[in-house]
């Protein structure tokens, strides 16, 4: 019998933990900085799943909501930053801070929308374009598009390089 604990905690938590361990192994083997950022991203997601499980079993809480949302934002930012690490060393850019600040503002707006009469509710009443998940989706959609459309020859075999350039409309 499938229980809520199985669906909510065991499956996503086990998968996130396994992927975290895979990226730990890959980092130990190659020492590439983007593997370390992916490792941090999966660690943040694993802890997010743990906090979501705690919120399910203990009841909704504004503190758990904010912490889980910050962990999701950290995961998205690590993945966003890793796209640059595949090409060169990390350099702080102004839009890193802008994206993180925008994510924090969206977390605050979503928290305020869930507070009805001073009581935290697990359901949001915001229109879809103000939701935190939409901001996360935008960041997470940007990362693979950037990686696919601007591959480097040192990370891809030559045939794959030309296939990716063809997919992005550069013939």
Where residue 169 falls among pLDDT bands split at 50, 70, 90?
low
| Residues 135-141, mean pLDDT to the nearest whole number | 83
Tokens 């977390």 correspond to what residue? Answer: 107
Cβ-contact 164, 148 below 8 angstroms: yes
The model's pTM: 0.75
Where residue 73 falls among pLDDT bands split at 50, 70, 90?
very high
Q: Return d(Cα 76, Cα 82) in angstroms, integer.
A: 10
For 15, phi then psi, to 5°, come to -65, -45
Looking at residue 68, what is its pLDDT?
93
Q: Return d(Cα 61, Cα 119) in angstroms, integer.
A: 9
Q: Return d(Cα 151, Cα 161) in angstroms, integer.
A: 7
For the chain, the average pLDDT equals 77
pLDDT digits (tens, 9 = 90+) for 6-21: 676 777 877 887 777 7
Q: Return d(Cα 60, Cα 111) in angstroms, integer.
A: 12
Q: Domains of the chain: which residue ranges?
A: 4-167
pLDDT at 156 over 60: no
- Which 3 state secondary structure label does DSSP give 170? coil
């Amino acid at each position: 019998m499938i229980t809520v604990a199985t669906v909510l905690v065991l499956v996503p938590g086990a998968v996130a933990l396994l992927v975290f361990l895979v990226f730990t192994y890959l980092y130990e083997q190659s020492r590439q900085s983007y593997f370390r950022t992916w490792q941090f991203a999966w660690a943040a997601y694993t802890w997010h799943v743990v906090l979501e499980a705690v919120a399910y079993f203990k009841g909704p809480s504004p503190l758990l909501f904010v912490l889980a949302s910050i962990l999701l934002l950290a995961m998205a930012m690590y993945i966003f930053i890793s796209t640059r690490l595949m090409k060169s060393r990390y350099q702080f850019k102004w839009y890193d801070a802008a994206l993180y600040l925008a994510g924090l503002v969206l977390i605050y707006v979503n928290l305020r929308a869930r507070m009805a009469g001073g009581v935290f509710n697990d359901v949001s009443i915001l229109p879809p374009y103000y939701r935190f998940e939409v901001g996360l989706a935008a960041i997470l959609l940007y990362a693979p598009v950037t990686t696919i459309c601007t591959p480097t020859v040192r990370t891809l075999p030559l045939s794959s390089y030309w296939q990716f350039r063809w997919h992005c409309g550069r013939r």
